[in-house]
Amino acid sequence: MNDFLIDSATAALAERRPRTDMRTRDLINQAVASVPALGLPRAAEFLAEMGVPAEVAVRALVYPDRRRAG
């Protein structure tokens, strides 16, 4: 058995860099928090209006459990 084998999710976590865009972080936090009250479409619209890249918005809204801490 090879102890050095890791799955792709673990490899992806190891490659993550610290977050540097605090404005986008704050906008994503607001949008994720608003999903229960306003719904996913409205949260996505908010992020688009605020200039958050679509791929970042989708990843954050559809997979909130995969978000970075901090």
Domain extent listing, the chain: 22-66
Residue with tokens 């490659």: 15
**Report field, pTM of the whole predicted structure over 0.85:** no
Sorted by sequence, the CB contacts under 8 Å of residue 56 that are 6+ apart come out as 24, 28, 47
Whole-number pLDDT of residue 6: 54
- CA distances for 32 relative to 2, 22, 56, 70, angstroms: 40, 15, 12, 14
Whole-number pLDDT of residue 34: 96
Whole-number pLDDT of residue 3: 46
b/e code 15-26 from CB counts within 10 Å (16+ = b): eeeeeeeeebee
Q: What is the mean pLDDT of each run of 10 residues along the chain (70 residues)?
A: 54 62 93 95 97 94 80
